[in-house]
Structures are given as structure tokens and as C-alpha cells.
Amino acid sequence: MQNTGDINGRVADAPSGNWVYRVLPATLWPYAQLARWDRPIGWQLLMWPCFWSVALAANASVALGHGSPGFVVIYHLFLYFIGAVAMRGAGCTYNDLVDHEIDMSVARTRSRPLPSGRVTRLQAKVFIALQALVGLLVLLQFNWFAVVLGVLSLGIVALYPFAKRFTDWPQFFLGLAFSWGALMGWAGLFGSLSLAPIVLYLAAILWTIGYDTIYAHQDKEDDELIGVRSTARLFGDQTRLWLVGLYGATLLLMLLSFALAGTSWLAYLGLIVAGGMFAYQIAVLDIDDGAQCLALFKSNNRVGLIIFVGLFLSFLFLAP
């Protein structure tokens, strides 16, 4: 049965003028919505740790005297872009299957394809398989260490949708999954891991907890009614203070990671700019303004971009 929250085939929390609705036929809209192609912020936030890690590894390669892996870096960035879009889509479709009943009870999500009845559970499962196949094809372009490392992330991805049912820290589990690219980029270039990408991974986890806490404040009233747990509900009025700690630790860990990889001053300049953007988020945050929380959450795409630009320019600066 069509849910009244479904407005002309669109979903409540996505811009109605998105390219999906201008380019794709209406019959494909539900699948684009399952994959969140109409809300690119998800794959963007998944992509940035991958991009950071590739650029960090490129810096380290030059600093260690291994030469400049210029073409390989560009090729890997392209692969991680495709992989981020595909695996974000598969993850969101899986998450919607798990949260089918919950989404029917939340005003922001009841217009999504599954609760609105525009897609069946079987169709959603087939769509997951197709997206996962694209992700697998991307993964197989890397060395076997990176392939195994990528497969290991699936356990965390599978666990995440259930975290909100048993812990106040589902954002931590999201961080474990969404930040995995901070390990992958380095592994894809070196075929191994070292302390620098591990520290970057920890930084990305804290960043994810921070921005997703802001995002979760949109749903805290509905979450409380249906018993869904989150750091937004846990932190409450102390959210701003928690963000100071989370974002501050993110910057410190990134500083250490960059130092371990031997980056130039340009990478640190990017961190300074990102720190200013974090400070702005904290200063203006109104946890009771859902629209503002969404806007601040989305602004983390620019944070990720700035950090990557700093690392990439550092690589170009160091390259012979």
C-alpha cells in the first residue's frame, strides 16, 4: 500500500530537484532512492577517508624515496570513487531492509521506497547484489592484501544497522564502517599497513561520530518514542562539549598521522582550515533545529575535501 509520506515518488529528506528526478525515468527512482543517489552526501563521506589514505600513502612513498606514484594515485582515486558510490548504495539498501519497520514509524523516513511500498523486499535484495558486484569488481583491481582487508569490513557493515538497538553508540559502529577507507587507500598502494593509516583510521572514526551525532539530532524525538538509541540522545544538551572533544581529537590524530607519513606543510594547512570549519559547526549548532543540523552535517563534505586537497597538494609539492 502506498504510504501518504510518499510525495510524487520522492522522499521527504531529499531535494526534489535532484538530478535523479530530472534524468532517470520514474520507474528507476525507487532504486536510486534506495542507493541514496539523490543524497550524495553519504557516498561523499564514505569516499573521503579513502581519498585521504591514498594521498597520505602517496606522500609517504615520495618521502621514503620510492618515487612518485602519480598515475597509480589517480587510478586508485577513480576506483575508490566508484567503490564508494556502489558500496554506499548497497549498504543503504541493506540498512533499509533491516530498518523497514522502524522507517515506517519515523516521519523523515516513512516515504522511502520500502516503507512506502514502491519496492518489494525481494527487489531490494536483488539490487543489493548488483551493487555489491560492482564493489567486488572494483576491489579486485587491488593487491590481495587490500582485497582481504576490504572483505573484512563487511562484518562491521552487516552489524551497523543493528547497533541502534543495543547501544547508545551506533555512531561508533558507523565510524568503524565508514572510516575503513582510511586503511584501504594505504593498503592499495603499499600492500600492507603501518601506524600512519591506523592513526588516520582512528581520526576518521571520531570525525564520523561527530558529524553523525549532529545528523541524529534530527530524529531524536521519533527515536525516543520508538526506542532507537543514538549519541544525539546520549549527549543531549552536552553535544557541543562532546563535539569539542571529538573534533579536537580528530585533528590531533590527523596531525600525528601526517607527521608519521612525512607530509609537507600544505597538508597541515589543510588541517588548520578544517579546524576552523569544525569550530564553526560547534559555535553555531542548534540541536533543536533539524534543518540546521542537516546543513551542518552536510558541510562535512567540504571538510573532507579540504583535508584531501591539503594532502594532495603536499604530494605534488614533494614529488620530484
- Does 79 map to a domain? yes
- Does 221 map to a domain? yes
Residue 56 near residue 263, CB atoms below 8 Å: yes
- Does 290 map to a domain? yes
- Does 105 map to a domain? yes
- Does 2 map to a domain? no
**pLDDT at residue number 107:** 67
Which residue type is seen at 66? H
**pLDDT at residue number 2:** 39
- Does 14 map to a domain? no
Residue 107 near residue 5, CB atoms below 8 Å: yes
**pLDDT at residue number 252:** 98
Burial of 122 (0-12, 13-18, 19+ CB in 10 A): exposed
d(CA 285, CA 147): 40
* Positive/negative CA dihedral, 286, 287, 291, 294: positive
**pLDDT at residue number 6:** 47
Residue 44 near residue 304, CB atoms below 8 Å: yes
> Could you give the number of structural domains in the chain?
1
- Does 60 map to a domain? yes
**pLDDT at residue number 100:** 76
Greatest Cα-to-Cα distance within the chain, rounded to the nearest angstrom: 63
Taking each helix axis from N to C terminus, what angle separates 170-178 and 41-63, rounded to the nearest 10 degrees?
50
- Domain range for residue 260? 27-313
- Does 128 map to a domain? yes
pLDDT tens for the chain, 320 residues long, are 334 444 566 666 666 677 888 888 988 888 988 898 888 999 999 999 999 999 999 999 999 998 889 899 999 999 999 999 999 999 899 888 887 777 777 766 777 888 888 888 999 999 999 999 999 999 999 999 999 999 999 999 888 888 888 899 999 999 999 999 999 999 999 999 999 999 999 999 999 999 999 999 987 877 777 778 899 999 999 999 999 999 999 999 999 999 999 999 999 999 999 999 999 999 999 999 999 999 999 999 999 999 999 999 999 999 98
**pLDDT at residue number 146:** 97
C-alpha cell at 232: 544525539
**pLDDT at residue number 3:** 41
CATH number at residue 117: 1.10.357.140
Beta-bridge partners for 10: 7
DSSP string, the chain: ---TT-BTTB-TTS-TTSHHHHHS-GGGHHHHHHTTTT-THHHHHHHHHHHHHHHHHHHHHHHTTS---HHHHHHHHHHHHHHHHHHHHHHHHHHHHHTHHHHTTSTTTTTSTTTTTSS-HHHHHHHHHHHHHHHHHHHTTS-HHHHHHHHHHHHHHHHHHHHHHH-S-HHHHHHHHHTTHHHHHHHHHHSS--HHHHHHHHHHHHHHHHHHHHHHTTSHHHHHHHT---HHHHHGGGHHHHHHHHHHHHHHHHHHHHHHHT--HHHHHHHHHHHHHHHHHHHH--TT-HHHHHHHHHTHHHHHHHHHHHHHHHHHHH--
Cα torsion at 200, 202, 206, 208 (round to 10°)? 70
